[in-house]
Copies of this chain bind each other. A is one copy, B any other.
Amino acid sequence: MNQAQRGRPRDTRIDERVLRAAATLLLRHGYAGLSIEEVAERAGVAKTTLYRRWPTKDHLAVAVVAHLQDEDDITDTGDIRRDLSDYTEKIATALNRLRSAGRPAGQDNRSAGVVAELVAAGARHDDIGRMGRHNYARRNALAVALIERARERGQLRADLDPLVLLDQLAGALYYRVLITGAPVDRHYAEQLVATALDGAANRKEAPRP
């Protein structure tokens, strides 16, 4: 939920329509293909209404992504290995969708695409940066709660900082998409979670001095 939405609870349906139209355009045509004019037309909303809520295309794009993230549930089955694998895979799927937005299907392109554009928008505009960080803090709080419950059940170490585990899972995905260009998928999500839970150290050896 962005600043504007919070102040105008009655306008939720307009927001919803605008964000859905914008999401369609962004995912189909990429960042360059997201035009405020076309979003207004598709959503049947005056351009001025749109600009009042999202002063620039960058603002709108960040709101769209927060909206898309909210569609992904975080499931707590009690099996933390499975739940974290599912959650990590969902992030991977969302990143792949944004990464390939606006590109011909099947094109072998390792560019970060829209993901990089959003990161740059956050660095260009302080208010977008704050909005983005707010969205992530809100989303990550759900995953932190999932990890905390598993910790309380004794499945995770008592001294584990949930945010560090989350950084290692989500961070690895963003690093691949934004920096190394390596692929992210279900297999990688499971490999990540296994490595994070079981640890990289060799337990078979006696502890080193």
A129 and B181: CB pair below 8 A? yes
Distance A151 CA – B204 CA, assembled complex (angstroms): 12
Q: How far apart are A8's CB and chain B's nearest CB, in angstroms?
A: 27
Q: Which of A140, A163, A192, A199 has the most CB of B within 10 A?
A: A199
Known: A170-B175, A178-B119. A199 touches B202 (CB 8 A): no
Closest to A176 in B: B167
Query: Which of A18-26, A42-50, A152-160 forms part of the interface with chain B?
Result: A152-160
B117 and A111: CB pair below 8 A? no
Residues of B within 8 A of A110 (CB): 129, 133
Contact with B along A106-134 (1 / 0, CB 8 A): 00011111011101101110100100110
Interface residues on A, range: 35 or more
Q: How far apart are A31's CB and chain B's nearest CB, in angstroms?
A: 9
Distance A191 CA – B175 CA, assembled complex (angstroms): 19
B164 and A171: CB pair below 8 A? no
Closest to A158 in B: B202
Asked if A94 is at the interface of the complex by the 8 Å CB criterion, the answer is no
A residues contacting B by CB (< 8 A) are: 109-113, 115-117, 119-120, 122-124, 126, 129, 132-133, 136-137, 140, 151, 154-158, 160-161, 163-165, 167-176, 178-182, 191-192, 195-205, 208
